[in-house]
């Protein structure tokens, strides 16, 4: 079996926190049912709609697509780039 290395790609990303406005582009808020009306946060991706939780990163892909990434995975996969 051959081995491959993932090409390095620089992406834009923002960490999502529901109490910090404005939300990252693409985050949709829907209020839950009464009596609590707890909001749920979503983002539309190429694979469908995904729930976004506090602390998730919203990544903009190379074609402008948005997708969420859990903080633990983000920290293992990406490193900060100084421009």
Asked if 66 and 59 touch (Cβ cutoff 8 Å), the reply is yes
**Domain contains 29:** yes
21-58 pLDDT per residue, tens:
899 999 999 998 888 888 999 999 999 999 999 999 99
Q: Is 43 contained in some domain?
A: yes
Task: Tally the domains of the chain.
Answer: 1
Residue 25 in any domain: the answer is yes
Of the pLDDT bands very low, low, confident and very high (cuts 50, 70, 90), residue 81 is: confident
Q: Specify whether the CB–CB gap between 11 and 61 falls below 8 A.
A: yes
- What whole-number distance in Å separates Cα of residue 64 and Cα of residue 15? 17
Domain span at residue 73 reads 12-77
pTM value is 0.83
Provide Rg for the chain, Cα atoms: 15
* Strand ranges (E), 1-83: 12-15, 27-31, 39-45, 48-52, 57-60, 66-69
């Amino acid at each position: 079996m051959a081995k491959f290395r993932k090409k390095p790609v620089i992406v834009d990303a923002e960490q999502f926190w529901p109490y910090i406005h404005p939300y990252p582009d693409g985050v949709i808020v829907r209020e839950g049912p009464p009596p609590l009306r707890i909001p749920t946060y979503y983002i539309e991706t190429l694979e469908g709609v995904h729930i976004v939780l506090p602390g998730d990163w919203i990544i903009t892909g190379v074609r402008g697509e948005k997708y969420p990434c859990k903080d633990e995975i983000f920290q293992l996969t990406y490193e900060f780039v100084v421009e």
